Amino acid sequence: MTAQKITTHVQDCICLLSVTNAEFLRLVRPYFRPELLPSRQTMTVIKACYEYFDITGQAPDMHIRDVIENSMRGYGKEDKDLVYKYLDRLMNLKVPNMGYALHRLNEYIKTREFEIGAVEFVKLVEQGKFGDAQSLMYDVLKKGIEREDAGLDFFQDHSDMSYNENFLMPTGFKHLDPFRGGWYRGEFVCGLGGYKGKKSFSASYIGSYALMFGLNVLHVTHENSMQETAERYDREVVGLVRPIHNGQERPFYYFHERSKSIRERMLTKPSTLDFEARKEARKLLQRYGGRLFIKKYPMSTCTMGELERYLDYLERYKNFIPDVLINDYPEVMKFDPRKQTRDNINEIYKDHKRLADERNMLVITLSQATRKAIRTQRLKMGDFAEDIRKLGNVDTVYGVCQTYKQVKKRIGTIYIIAAREGEMDIGCGFVMNLDFGHFCTETFPIEYSGSIIDSSDEKEVTSDDFDPEDEDYWDGKNDNTAGS
């Protein structure tokens, strides 16, 4: 990353963290010179934060305007106005991802210090000062933020004992969260399912849930079209039907707590042809503050290098850094023809885990289960198709399962099949309303020894089961059409 390639967004992240986060200042103060930045306004703000931190040991935060005023002695009115205007814009931004900002800043420091050192190195060599040149280059190569180079000093640094800043969001499945907690930054998650097993629906559901928490989402698709993927996000939010069902009543399914059964009521919703309804869905999501980019690559055309290039493009030209990357799905990306398919898959999964670590984001991919796992009650670790080594490269695996009976009753089950941290072999049931575009309308607890929904005495779902005077339903507890 050269001086010209550091993005405005990354500079804003560095600057806002300097204003608000004392831990960030403690890490970067000894190693980063603000003069390396191309923006004078950014440099001015960070210098002021350094001065305040040196005296108080804290970040200026709400005192930043007073701190800035004191540090701009000698500035003209026009320069001061530019700094204040920049500061006003800065303080309205969302709290940055500190791990990613540190990673990008560390790369930038190394690159800029090397560029400057290389010029001085040539001058010293031309003057015959070879010893000085060697010492200079040795010092330059050590530049960077110590946290990234030295790791955690276990007995001296207690930052790892503070609140877990890597927590990102709940899972989106209410009855999993008491066991899982949620999804985390730096986590590499794989969704496993059978052929046509609603894996892609699960990914767009998690993506829409992330948007409701104000997070940035990048959804990369290799099979589904860009329009189809966008339509799934619209439908997940407001419950749109397909054009063929426009103006028709359709059954909406829900879990009846008292009888432990699935019931239905009839609803009429706009179709995906309703432009205003789709605009309303996007307005609703936009209010939360997150952003969504959907990128389509034809199958077998996108390499990992291309995916990383696109991430850099979004950061540089769109000021967009994803908190969540959904890649649907790695097995259909472009591979090295000189390697066996299994070896290519193993490498590409390792690269996804590297992306999650380097960019400090949640990465979600999807994978096929073996043929024998189709329509099974529950997926297991051994059900990965192609290469079992995928299991070792991911942090968490969730399985989306549906038996034939569950398909008929509009429900499914989701299990945490494997987890590097936290509990495994836990799951819950969920109600699907795909007629309205909802992958998960609500969840319900499920016992491992046998689903209450698959018990032999469970009656079939009919419209006669819907009781319009049922207070348990009409109290609103189960009418969550926003997809939570």
CATH of the domain at 374: 3.40.50.300
Same domain for 86 and 12, yes or no, is yes
Same domain for 365 and 229, yes or no, is yes
pLDDT of residue 456: 42
Q: Is residue 480 part of a domain?
A: no
Same domain for 141 and 213, yes or no, is no
Same domain for 347 and 203, yes or no, is yes
Same domain for 212 and 263, yes or no, is yes
Q: What is the number of structural domains in the chain?
A: 2
Instruction: Spell out where 33-120 has E strands.
Output: none
Same domain for 389 and 245, yes or no, is yes
Q: Write down which residue in 161, 182, 201 finishes a domain.
A: 161
Q: Is residue 326 part of a domain?
A: yes
Q: How many residues does the chain have?
A: 484
Same domain for 211 and 131, yes or no, is no
> Could you check whether the bond before residue 404 is cis, i.e. omega within 30 degrees of 0?
no
Same domain for 198 and 151, yes or no, is no
pLDDT of residue 196: 73
Same domain for 283 and 428, yes or no, is yes
- Its pTM surpasses 0.75: no
- Which of 138, 178, 391 lies closest to 130 in space, CA to CA? 138
d(CA 134, CA 354): 33
Same domain for 173 and 143, yes or no, is no
Q: Which DSSP helix (H) or strand (E) runs through 367?
A: strand 362-368
Q: Is residue 484 part of a domain?
A: no
Q: Is residue 117 part of a domain?
A: yes
Q: Is residue 85 part of a domain?
A: yes
Which residues in the chain show pLDDT less than 70?
A: 1-5, 114, 136-165, 197, 373, 385-387, 447-484
Q: Write down which residue in 145, 161, 177 finishes a domain.
A: 161
Whether 264 contacts 461, CB under 8 Å:
yes
- Which of 189, 175, 134 lies closest to 353 in space, CA to CA? 189
Domain that holds residue 139: 3-161
| Residue 312 CA: distances (Å) to CA of 13, 93, 97, 317 | 15, 20, 16, 9
Whether 181 contacts 163, CB under 8 Å:
no
Same domain for 219 and 188, yes or no, is yes
Same domain for 148 and 249, yes or no, is no
